Amino acid sequence: MKIGATSFKPDRTQQNLLLFSVFFVAAPHLLNLGLGIVLYFSLLAAWRFASGYRPALQPGRLLLFVLTLTGAALVYVDYHRFYGREAGSSLFLVGLGLKLMEMRTRRDVYLVVYLAFFVALTQYLFSQSVALAAYTLAAVGLLISVLIGLNAGPVLSLKIQLKMAAVLVAQAMPIMLVLFLFFPRIAGPLWALPDDPDTAKTGLGDIVEPGSISRLVLSREPAFRVDFEGPVPAPDERYWRGPVFWHTDGTRWTLPPEEGRHDVRAPEFAGTAYRYTITLEPHQNRWVFALDLPKTFPGELSLTREYLLLARQKIGERRQFTITSYPNYRTGELSPAERDLGLQLPDEPSARVVRLVERWRRSSSDPQGIVNKALHHFREEPFVYTLNPPPIPDKPIDTFLFKTRKGFCEHYATAFVYLMRAAGIPARVVTGYQGGQWNPVGQFLEVRQADAHAWAEAWLPGQGWTRIDPTAAVAPHRIEQGIDLDRQWAGQAAGFSPVQRVLSDTALDFHDWYRRVRLVWASIDHAWNQWVLSYNPEHQKQFWEALGIVDWRGLITWLAALSVLCGVLVGLCIRPRRKPETIDPALKAYSRFLKKLAKRGVIKRTGEGPRDFALRAASERPEAKENIGAITALFLEVRYGQQADPSDIERLKQRVKAFRL
């Protein structure tokens, strides 16, 4: 008969610990997988829990076959395939639940535990956050405690199992750290599947229309974080350049074709230079958001004629780039093709737009003067900056300018560009992010999806393409302070609040304390991204060079030295500091039995096993032969038996207590 193939029934405490550990491992997938898959697994786990109290509820082979088909059908209905990130993880979860239902032998229990380890790994396909890493570490500890209890039997209490598992995990940490730092890194994302579709697109899109940016306004999700090597730009200079839109059909603005976009004329830069490292979150596009306007950047990036940085491939993983930007610049002359694109209109402007523009022209023929008139118009007329603008189903420009006058940044940017083109001034719409929250704890700038923004660029003689933000004319606090997400609710007027209040010594309310906690947590998360998730082959090479590792010989030397050090540390940790009998109740009782015999001159020799000692003790003390044999047999059953009953420990204690010579 094969090992582990015999019928096996763990005690109720061990079984409940196993079920809790498995459910604990699977819980994060509630956020990742379809609700039907999660409910199916939960039903199987609850079924198994109930069958522990009523064995008659355990399903037979036919019912297990039906459950298997049902689980496979659920996966296929949700994802229409059995491979990929979501579908593959769902299959693992379904398999784990089914294995719980057919768990009858010791080998089945081992398979459940090992399958749970794989389910824990699949969660890194969805997130690699520091919170998930800590959660997974706790899950691994629980599963190891299950294995400890499975092998030790009922002689170890639940508290001791958990403590031993925690010690084992702690002992593995130095080895894990050495492997992380020195094991050769693989280029590209480790926790990703190449055949997954781009389902994780976040942030800005390739179309601008009413509502395309305002939908992001309540999103706390980070877009990127920035570490500056020197001075930090003022809030009104924090424009992070993204896609530039030229063509409009009157409602939508779309991107230009790729052809000819890399014929760039170098601008003239002046003023302060800002050098920084931007850590981009994956957004499934090639755009790299740089401080307006980038001058130097890595060779793996390219610059379009709209001064947008593009990566070679879509940003499907967290990436870092070091860039130098100048907020003050001149872009030079305008080409005929750019002039045509910058003056494109879908049809003739309405009479009201023509009258408005002509009034500006009569008062100022200078393009800069017309721009100022337009900004004055937005500032003085009753325009409202709101997170919940009314829908505009028809003629969005005219309706916004002359009727609703309520909008978000995309409303103001597109309307301004339309007015400039109607006045004969080339203009275009620029999207990206504006502002960002400075984190004084981690000393970095965090730009969230809520900081998504749209502004305009007009071509002015002697200046070139010039940034003009009509939103700043209507709601200057949006540019200077940013939206206060902690106090903001959808449907309300936009609220603004600087983070400096949180850091002052004034009386703080609940929201301020909540902000402080978020600043600390964001700093921890940023450090995790910088030092762990961004530890790629390039960073590993730099680390090795700092240690003087230039070839494989040096690497092997370091690995050998650190392996010895880890071995010494683990050896010191596992060195017994107290007698084993204080941990194991069976050994503790047997030790009392040996002490009683030793007082009568029967001393256990070094290396002498319990059975051999019992035979010798019985020959020396024949009057206690029966009790010596019974205590020894009971001790061996409790300490080393596969199916020991917890009540046997009490019987052993009572027999040792009653033993007399």
List active site positions.
409, 453, 469
Instruction: Report d(CA 76, CA 501) in Å as an integer.
Output: 52
Instruction: Report d(CA 510, CA 488) in Å as an integer.
Output: 14
484 contacts 468 by C-beta, under 8 angstroms: no
Residue 487 is which amino acid?
A: R
- C-alpha neighbours within 13 Å on the C-beta side of residue 272: 10
User: H/E/C letters for each residue in 195-258?
Assistant: CCCCCCCCCCCCEECCCCCHHHCCCCCEEEEEEECCCCCCHHHCEEEEEEECEECCCCEECCCC
In a 3-state reduction of DSSP, which class is residue 31? coil
- Of 372, 375, 496, nearest in space to 434 by CA: 496
- Residue 541's alpha-carbon distances to 183, 548, 549, 550, in angstroms, are 11, 10, 9, 9
Please count the other Cβ atoms lying within 10 Å of the Cβ belonging to residue 602.
19
- Residue 53's alpha-carbon distances to 56, 64, 502, 642, in angstroms, are 9, 19, 54, 21
Residue 288 is which amino acid?
A: V
Determine the angle formed by the axes of helices 409-422 and 351-363, rounding to 10 degrees.
70
Q: Measured between alpha carbons, how far apart are the two ends of the chain, in Å?
A: 44
Q: What's the DSSP call for residue 7?
A: B
Instruction: Report d(CA 592, CA 596) in Å as an integer.
Output: 6
Instruction: Report d(CA 106, CA 15) in Å as an integer.
Output: 12
H helix intervals, 4-105: 12-26, 35-53, 61-79, 85-101
Q: Is the dihedral of CA 242, 243, 244, 249 positive or negative?
A: negative
Q: Is the dihedral of CA 19, 22, 25, 30 positive or negative?
A: negative
- Of 424, 390, 532, 412, nearest in space to 471 by CA: 412
Instruction: Report d(CA 448, CA 483) in Å as an integer.
Output: 11
Q: What's the DSSP call for residue 581?
A: G
Instruction: Report d(CA 253, CA 395) in Å as an integer.
Output: 14
128 contacts 7 by C-beta, under 8 angstroms: no
343 contacts 421 by C-beta, under 8 angstroms: yes
In a 3-state reduction of DSSP, which class is residue 163? helix
In a 3-state reduction of DSSP, which class is residue 284? coil
